[in-house]
């Protein structure tokens, strides 16, 4: 919703963009020690790392996609009597949906990386934790296996997301 508001309304973008841009440059991995203190070692900490690392990227990318809507469609909707809320609901969101879905697919790759980083640094389970344990035991085969599994899971999820996007937005050229 924040990215849509920023893309649809320039005053909202002018107000929020500096804050969102600042937060976008904060490295999610630098928050891990704080998150371990505040949330402990576990799933909550991993989810917070994903959130910090992804949400500000998504907000800005969605704002750019919504802001790039076809002006002729917006003007036609205004001509037909739509108000600004109707423009957002009936023109901007449907027009931006394929781009937003593609953005989510791309950010999924970053989020997957954040999970592994969180597991490497502070976790008691997961592939990253297994890699850290294997390092302590000098088990390079297990480390390489973990890296390959990470890549396969990422690739499979990417293909699944692409297929879903093609099915949901068959009319789109994205």
Q: Tell me 123's DSSP state.
A: -
Flag whether 109 is in a domain: yes
Residue 142: Cβ-neighbour burial (10 angstroms; 0-12, 13-18, 19+): middle
Distances (CA, A) of 38 to 31, 32, 44, 45, 53: 10, 10, 10, 8, 17
Confidence (pLDDT) at 171: 86
Confidence (pLDDT) at 56: 96
Q: pTM of the entire structure? A: 0.84
Count how many domains the chain has. Answer: 1
Domain extent, residue 16, equals 2-168
Neighbours of 36 (CB within 10 A): 16
Flag whether 68 is in a domain: yes
- pLDDT of 125 > 90? The answer is no
CA-based nearest residue to 99, from 172, 26, 28: 172
Flag whether 174 is in a domain: no
- Proportion of the chain above pLDDT 70, given as a percent: 100
Confidence (pLDDT) at 93: 93
Domain with 16 in it: what CATH number?
1.10.3720.10
- 45-94: per-residue pLDDT in tens? 889 999 999 999 999 999 999 999 888 898 899 999 999 899 999 999 99
- CA dist 33 and 40 (Å) reads 10
């Amino acid at each position: 919703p924040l990215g849509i508001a920023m893309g649809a309304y320039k005053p909202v973008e002018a107000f929020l963009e500096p804050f969102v841009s600042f937060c976008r440059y904060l490295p999610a991995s630098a928050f891990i020690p704080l998150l371990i203190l505040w949330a402990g070692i576990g799933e909550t900490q991993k989810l917070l790392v994903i959130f910090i690392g992804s949400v500000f990227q998504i907000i800005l990318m969605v704002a750019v996609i919504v802001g790039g809507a076809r002006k002729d469609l917006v003007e036609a909707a205004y001509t037909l009597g739509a108000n600004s809320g109707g423009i957002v609901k009936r023109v901007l969101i449907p027009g931006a949906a394929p781009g937003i879905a593609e953005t989510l697919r791309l950010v999924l790759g970053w989020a997957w990386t954040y999970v592994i980083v969180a597991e490497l640094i502070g976790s008691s389970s997961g592939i990253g934790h297994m890699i850290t344990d294997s390092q302590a035991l000098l088990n390079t085969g297990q480390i390489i296996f973990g890296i390959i599994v990470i890549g396969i899971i990422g690739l499979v999820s990417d293909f699944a997301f692409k297929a879903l996007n093609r099915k949901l937005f068959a009319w789109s050229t994205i």
